[in-house]
Amino acid sequence: MERALRDPRCRGAISFGIAGGLDHSLPTGTHLVASEIVTPHGPVPTDGRWSQRLMETSKRSRHARILGADHVIIEPEEKRDLFESTGAVAVDTESHITALMARTAGCLSPACELLPTRRIAACLKRRCPASTPTAARIPSGSCVR
C-alpha cells in the first residue's frame, strides 16, 4: 500500500469492508460512507466530493464517523463507551490504518463500510462469540488510480 500511495498516478485511498455496529439505532446492512475516521492520532476527515459520490450510489447510505481500532471490539460495554466517547457509529480494524497512510502520503481518504451480518450486528447488546475476531478479518485498502 505504501508503494501504491507513492505512485504519482494514485489520487486517493479507499478502505471498504465490514464494520461492527456501535450505534444501536442502525439496522444490520446499513451502508456507511465515512465522514471522518477516528484514529488514535486524531480524526482524519474524508474528501467531501468523493464521499458524496459514494453516498449517491445507495439510497440507504449514511454519512457518519467510523472508528478504527487495533483489535476487534467484543464487549457490549466497550461498544457503548466507544459510541458515547467518539460519536462513531461503527468500528473496524482497517480504516484508521488506510486513513493515516493516505494522510501521510497526502492522498484523499474516504472509507466505505458495510455493517456486518445479523450474527455480528446482534453483538451490540451481548458479548460477541469467540469466533468473531477471526471471522471479522477482511483485507482492505486499495489505491484508486
Task: Indicate which CATH number applies to the domain containing 110.
Answer: 3.40.50.1580
d(CA 109, CA 106): 9
Is 93 a domain residue?
A: yes
And the C-alpha cell for 20? 461492527
Q: Which residues contact 3 (CB under 8 A, 6 or more apart)?
A: none
Domains in the chain, number: 1
d(CA 33, CA 52): 9
Q: Which helix (H) or strand (E) holds 13?
A: strand 12-18
Count of positions (residues) in the chain: 145
Q: Name residue 20's amino acid.
A: G
State pLDDT tens for residues 33-87. 888 899 999 998 888 878 888 888 878 788 899 999 999 998 889 999 999 999 9
The domain in which residue 116 lies consists of: 2-125
Q: Name residue 2's amino acid.
A: E
Is 102 a domain residue?
A: yes
> pLDDT category, 128, cuts 50, 70, 90?
low
